[in-house]
Amino acid sequence: MNLSALSEKPLLSVSIVFMTEVIAIMIFWYFLPAHFQINESSDYIARYKPVALNILKGNGIVNDDGSLATAYPPGYPLLLAALFGFSEISGISERIVIKGFILFCMGLSCVIIFLLANSLWGRAPALISSFLWTFCPFNLWLTKQPNSTIPFLVMLFSSVYFFSSVLLYKIKSGKIFFLIGLMAGLTMLIRPIALLFGLVMAMLIWSVYSKLKLRLRIFLITMLLFGNITVILPWLGWVYNKTGRMILLCENGASSMRDGLTFAVDLKDYRQGTWVPQDVMMLMRDINNSVDELQSYSDILSMLKNKIYECPLTIVKLILIKALRCWYGTDRHRFEMPIALIQVFYMILIGWSSRIAWKQGGNAKRLVIIILFITMYFWSVTTLASLSILRYMLPSLGIMLVLTSALFHSWLFEIKNSRQTPTN
C-alpha cells in the first residue's frame, strides 16, 4: 500500500507503526548473540525486582533487609509488582510477561512519536520519522533487558505529546494543564531525572503564552505544578512519616553524581575503562579518594567549589567531556566509538530538520522551541548531576526525531511538485 493510501487511514497507520516496532524488537532479540542476552542491569537485579517482590508479598516498599526502598522512586517497582502479580494469577511465565510489557511500551512510545509528528507534517513524513526511531540501534538495544527507561519513555512521550498539543493550539483550560501535570508527576515517580520537568513546562507556558494576561499565565502554571505535586506528595509524605526526613523522590542522586565525576577511575567490576586527559584523570582520582566524605549534594558541591579555585581549566574539561559523553557514553564503556559515529548521522539529520522546521514558522517553529527546552533540560541534568551516558539522553533523542518529519515533508512536497510539473 502506498503512502497516500496510508494517509487516508489513520488507524491503519498507527497499527503499522506499533507492529513494526514490535516485529523489529522481536527480530533483534532473535539475532542478538547469547552473551548479550544476559541481564546486565545491576539496578534491576539488586534494587527494582527485590522491592517489587516485597510489594507483592505485602511487605511494603522495602528492600530485602527490611529497610525502606528510597534509593529510587517507587513507580517502576510498583509496575513490576503488578506484572509479577499478573504472572502468578495467569500462569504465564514472568519472563514472557516482562517481554510482553517491553513490547507494549516500546510500541506505544513509537506510536506517540508518530502522532506528534503527524499533527504538524502529516502521516507520510510521520511514518518515516517513527521508523527512524523503530530501527534506531540504541532504541533496540534498550529492550534487551528490563529497565525503568522503558515505561519512562511512554510517560515522558505522552506528557510531551499532550503538552505540545495544548501549547501549539493555545488551549487555556486549567483542568487540562492539571491533567498534564499529573502525567508529568507520574513520569517523575518512574525516573528521578524528571524531577524538575514540571518547571521546564512552566517556563514553556510562560514563553508560549507571553501575550496572555499575567494572572491567567500564573493560573495555568499553578494548575500544572499542582498536578505534579498531587502525584508525588503521597510518596514524599509517606517517606517523611517513616524516616522523619524530606527526600526528593529518591536518595540515589548524590551517588549518581559521584559516579559521574569518577567514571574513568571507578571501574567497579564491569567497566572496560575509557580515556580522559591526564589532568582530568588525576582530578577524578582525587575525588574518588575522598568518596567517603561526599555523601550529599552539598558535600559534592562544596568539594567542586574548592576544586574550581585549584584547577578551573580541569573542571571545565571535565564538564565538557561529560557533556559530550551524554550522546555516546555507556556505563560499561563499550561500543562508544561506533555509537559516536552513528550519533553524528543522527545529529546532522536532526539539525538539518530543525533548521527547516524553524524556517516554516508557526507551530513548527514553536515545536522546535519546546523540544529544544526539553532536550537542554535532560542534557543539563545528565551532564551536571549524574553519570553521563546515552541511556539517560535516549528519551530526548526520540523526541528530537519528531523534527525529522519537517525534512521528509519538504522532500515529499518537492517530489510531488516535480511529478506535477509538465516536462518540455
- What is the pLDDT, as a whole number, of residue 292? 85
Per residue in 296-322, pLDDT tens?
889 999 999 999 999 999 999 999 999
Cell numbers at residue 391, please? Answer: 541511556
Alpha carbons within 13 A on the beta-carbon side of 268: 9
Q: Which residues contact 293 (CB under 8 A, 6 or more apart)?
A: 299, 303
Q: To the nearest whole percent, how much of the chain has pLDDT over 70?
A: 97
Cβ atoms 241, 60 nearer than 8 A: no
- What is the pLDDT, as a whole number, of residue 414? 83
Q: How far is CA 47 from the centre of its chain?
A: 20
- What is the pLDDT, as a whole number, of residue 413? 84
- What is the pLDDT, as a whole number, of residue 42? 85
- What is the pLDDT, as a whole number, of residue 4? 44
Per residue in 245-295, pLDDT tens?
888 888 888 899 999 999 999 998 899 999 999 999 999 999 999 888 888
Per residue in 99-110, pLDDT tens?
999 999 999 999
Helices and strands of the chain, counted as H and E runs: 20, 0
Cβ atoms 123, 13 nearer than 8 A: yes
